[in-house]
Chains A and B, each alone.
Chain A
């Protein structure tokens, strides 16, 4: 099977790997690089748990042709903490019990990070809009929304 070399930045460090042609970014991250933080959910763009940031913008990694991120910057939940120092969003998710079964959490975190990076003090409506592409099948949206607002109030990047 034909393989293509792909180089990109993942959470600030360079990656160079061979990927099967036509494979999606999520496969390359999970099987190629070994970053298991983005999850496979629906595979059709409905659930949002595979959300990663490409050049700071949320994308669905399961629908992103891997080779289109050549030379780009990709961020996943694995890059949120700095060593033992958790990101403000991770703290807030724990403090607000925002991870119930946890399957949607990586997508929620990345969608929320994209929001806070460009809008450090969002309204509740803006938070709802930012995570509108992410489904929580436990329906635990309120704690998630509260956590994102709490992270914003804590100064966003203070822990990060």
Chain B
């Protein structure tokens, strides 16, 4: 199908053009949209992109770390401000994919992709659309299909008091690069030896990255040891809806979730 490409210098112009067209898609790093083009996706005939430098910024703004939507996984790995996210970015694709795939694009990656977004979800990130107010990532993901009409400028991550409170694991069958059987990201803040306001998110355990709310509730006020996390492990798969795909079945994903959650919470090496 004949395709047209519209490139805008300003992200706001790109957002208006996207909103005005029913048959346009927004191109970030290309790993999702160009794949759709290659496979003959007939649902769009216009590619919209922007060269706006705002999308390529990483900055501390007050209590927020702001990562431009056009920042690639390689740039996340290379930048000092985002060093704590490097272990997450490194699990996305191989080197060539990491040079292309962006933080903004990962927000829209269909399951079992979207490991970076699972990490952002645990970190309580907010999504900033062009010309709009920041929205919580929870809320953004709940209406992700509708939000495909938005151009994302950046994500905002509240500053972590203790970077070591952030943990992440991606479970895959192939090393060093493999698609997720599941991924788990957690922020585990401790107050006087007790967990307070822990956030746990899963990737590849539903149609989109999701919070493990039952796990979070079961961890509140507990200590990070075998006895303290027992209840959390018992409810590890509450609320999940894992896909059955060529990587793993729904059943298998449910079976391994508590195993990997336990290792992550106790800081055990795999």
Which residue on B lies nearest to A110, using beta carbons?
B96
Which residues on B sit within 8 Å (CB–CB) of A63?
Answer: 30-31, 34-35, 38, 100
B38: which of A24, A129, A130 is its contact (CB, 8 Å)? A24
Which residues on B sit within 8 Å (CB–CB) of A131?
Answer: 94
A36-66 Cβ-contact flags toward B at 8 Å (1 or 0): 0000000111001001001001111011110
Given contacts A24-B37, A45-B97, contact A65 B177 (CB under 8 A): no
A132 at the interface (CB under 8 A from B): yes
A43 & B49 in contact (Cβ 8 Å cutoff): no
B99 at the interface (CB under 8 A from A): yes
A133 at the interface (CB under 8 A from B): yes
Which residues on B sit within 8 Å (CB–CB) of A58?
Answer: 95-96, 99
Taken together as a complex, chains A and B put the C-alpha atoms of A4 and B7 apart, in Å, by: 12
Q: Number of residues in A with C-beta < 8 Å to the partner?
A: 33
B47 at the interface (CB under 8 A from A): yes
- Shortest distance in angstroms between A20's beta carbon and chain B's nearest beta carbon? 8
Which residues on A sit within 8 Å (CB–CB) of B34?
Answer: 24, 62-65
B35 & A133 in contact (Cβ 8 Å cutoff): no
Given contacts A2-B4, A24-B38, A59-B100, contact A134 B31 (CB under 8 A): no
Taken together as a complex, chains A and B put the C-alpha atoms of A76 and B7 apart, in Å, by: 27
In the complex, which of the residues B5, B39, B94, B99 has the most CB atoms of chain A within 10 Å of its own CB atom? Answer: B94
Which residues on B sit within 8 Å (CB–CB) of A98?
Answer: none
Q: Number of residues in B with C-beta < 8 Å to the partner?
A: 25
Taken together as a complex, chains A and B put the C-alpha atoms of A22 and B4 apart, in Å, by: 6
A129 & B95 in contact (Cβ 8 Å cutoff): yes
- Shortest distance in angstroms between A12's beta carbon and chain B's nearest beta carbon? 21
B96-121 Cβ-contact flags toward A at 8 Å (1 or 0): 11011000000000000000000000
Which residue on A lies nearest to B72, using beta carbons?
A57
Which residues on B sit within 8 Å (CB–CB) of A114?
Answer: 95
Which residues on A sit within 8 Å (CB–CB) of B95?
Answer: 58, 111, 114, 129-130, 132-133
Taken together as a complex, chains A and B put the C-alpha atoms of A83 and B243 apart, in Å, by: 52
Which residues on B sit within 8 Å (CB–CB) of A64?
Answer: 30, 34, 100
A48 & B5 in contact (Cβ 8 Å cutoff): no
Which residues on A sit within 8 Å (CB–CB) of B5?
Answer: 4, 21-22, 65, 67
Q: Write 10 A-B pairs (CB below 8 A) sorted by A numbering.
A: A22-B4, A22-B5, A44-B35, A44-B39, A54-B99, A58-B95, A58-B96, A63-B35, A64-B34, A132-B176
Q: Given A44-B35, A63-B35, 16 other A-B contacts at CB below 8 A? A: A21-B3, A22-B37, A44-B38, A44-B39, A48-B94, A48-B96, A57-B74, A59-B99, A63-B31, A63-B38, A64-B30, A65-B34, A114-B95, A133-B93, A133-B95, A133-B96
Binding site for B on A (CB under 8 A): 1-2, 4, 20-24, 43-45, 48, 51, 54, 57-60, 62-65, 67-68, 111, 114, 128-134
